[in-house]
């Protein structure tokens, strides 16, 4: 799909919970360690076959995987310098997707080119953007900008629903009370960037003190509780919990969502903490990463029962569901990528 069509479709096609649409954004391809220098690997990402290769300069590149000559998978090809050569007839392509050499002749056909994609390495992964140039980098936490961090990935898992649905879990205030027994009435604060691809949901409330559990929580953490879920491009969630509480610094984790061609969603959790100096600093960092993992695992099993057994059909929306409505509105304003399928020709 070309850029013009993407903009024309922007306000006319529902993006939320639509398996035919892939919004522009950063999607995880693989761990950085899987692509060493001068190696290539082809992967399927959001239904697209893409070859990723790392040149002698250490930088990763990504192209559509099939050679425009006869369709050989470039993943079995050879990396030469900062370019990749097809295994079959040795056509060579640069990071722009242009053919730079054909061994049997000097002239190069105009159709001898491939779609190139932007890449970025962050949090220990290689990320792919469904366009040649990405307008922004992979999202990050404001408090970690310009600082050294430690990123620990957990094992990826899958859910039986669209990623837009399970992404809303972190801002579903009602389920905190019904599923997790966290009885905090929370107020919503919304902040969105000028590009409208990133939105912060901050939920803030007062700890009740009716049950023993609530009284202990109030004693240890303070009278109020606050957390923020930052959404980027409708496919990345950055969660900050334990904000402005006593005794504990904020904890951070990332959820990266990858829609699968089979109608399932793969979720990659990543725990994030600031890298601290010295042996004591190392222990503090590891302790915070462990606490983040434990907090996540305390909730994941209960939530999994929901999102593996859901047919999303929002017919009776309540006032407490306002964050969910705002999230759906945000997603439907994202930009559609060329990876989308079966769009009506205009």
Q: Provide the pairing of β-strand 125-129 with 83-85.
A: unpaired
Mean pLDDT for the stretch of residues 21-49:
96
CB burial readout 11-46, b (16+ within 10 A) else e: eebebbbbeebbbbbbbbbbebeebeeeebbbbebb
Q: List the one residue out of 47, 49, 56, 52 whose CA is nearest residue 35.
A: 52
Mean pLDDT for the stretch of residues 175-179:
69
Question: Angle at Cα 304 formed by Cα 295 and Cα 214, nearest 5°?
Answer: 40
For residues 177 and 84, the model is more confident at 84
Please, are residues 158 and 260 in contact by the beta-carbon 8 Å criterion?
yes
Mean pLDDT for the stretch of residues 155-179:
84
Lowest mean pLDDT among 66-70, 234-238, 292-296: 292-296
For residues 89 and 311, the model is more confident at 89
Who contacts 57 (Cβ-Cβ below 8 Å, separation ≥6)? 82
pLDDT of residue 184: 64
pLDDT of residue 171: 84
Q: Is the pLDDT of residue 164 over 60?
A: yes
pLDDT of residue 183: 66
pLDDT of residue 301: 67
Q: Tell me how far CA of residue 91 lies from CA of 37, 62, 95, 132, in angstroms.
A: 20, 16, 14, 21
Lowest mean pLDDT among 69-78, 108-117, 241-250, 301-310: 301-310
Q: Is the pLDDT of residue 100 over 80?
A: yes
In the chain, DSSP assigns E strands to 27-31, 40-45, 48-54, 60-64, 78-80, 83-85, 92-93, 99-101, 116-122, 125-129, 149-153, 157-159, 186-192, 198-206, 224-232, 236-241, 251-259, 265-274
The chain-wide mean pLDDT, for the chain, equals 89
Q: Which pTM was predicted?
A: 0.89
Residue 136 CB neighbour total at 10 angstroms: 15
pLDDT of residue 218: 80
pLDDT of residue 157: 92
Please give the Cα distance from 260 to 262 (Å, whole number): 5
Mean pLDDT for the stretch of residues 115-132:
98
């Amino acid at each position: 799909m070309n850029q013009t069509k993407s903009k024309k479709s922007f306000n006319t096609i529902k993006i939320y919970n639509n398996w035919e649409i892939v919004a522009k954004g950063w999607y995880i391809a693989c761990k950085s360690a899987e692509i060493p220098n001068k190696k290539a690997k082809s992967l399927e990402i959001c239904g697209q076959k893409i070859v990723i290769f790392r040149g002698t300069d250490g930088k990763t590149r990504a192209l559509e995987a099939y050679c425009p000559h006869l369709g050989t998978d470039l993943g079995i090809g050879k990396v030469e310098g900062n370019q990749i050569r097809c295994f079959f007839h040795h056509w060579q392509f640069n990071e722009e997707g242009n053919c730079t050499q054909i061994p049997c002749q000097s002239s190069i056909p105009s159709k001898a080119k491939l779609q190139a994609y932007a890449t970025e390495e962050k949090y220990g992964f290689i990320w792919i953007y469904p366009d040649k140039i990405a307008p922004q980098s992979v999202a990050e936490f404001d408090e970690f900008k310009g600082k050294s961090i430690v990123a620990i990935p957990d094992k990826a898992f899958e859910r039986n629903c669209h990623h837009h649905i399970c992404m809303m879990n972190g801002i579903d205030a009602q389920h905190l009370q019904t599923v997790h027994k966290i009885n905090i009435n929370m107020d919503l604060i919304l902040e969105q960037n000028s590009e409208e691809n990133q939105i912060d949901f901050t939920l803030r409330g007062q700890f009740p003190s009716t049950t023993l559990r609530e009284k202990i929580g109030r004693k240890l953490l303070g009278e109020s509780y606050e957390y923020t879920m930052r959404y980027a491009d409708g496919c990345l969630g950055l969660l900050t919990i334990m904000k402005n509480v006593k005794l504990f610094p904020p904890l951070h984790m990332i959820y990266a969502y990858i829609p699968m061609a089979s109608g399932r969603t793969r979720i990659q959790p990543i725990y994030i903490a600031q890298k601290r100096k010295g042996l004591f600093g190392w222990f503090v960092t590891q302790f915070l990463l462990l606490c983040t993992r434990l907090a996540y695992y305390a909730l994941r099993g209960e939530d999994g029962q929901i999102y593996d057994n859901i047919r999303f059909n929002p017919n009776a929306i309540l006032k407490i569901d306002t964050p969910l409505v705002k999230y759906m509105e945000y997603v439907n304003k994202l930009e559609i990528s060329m990876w989308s399928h079966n769009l009506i020709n205009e």
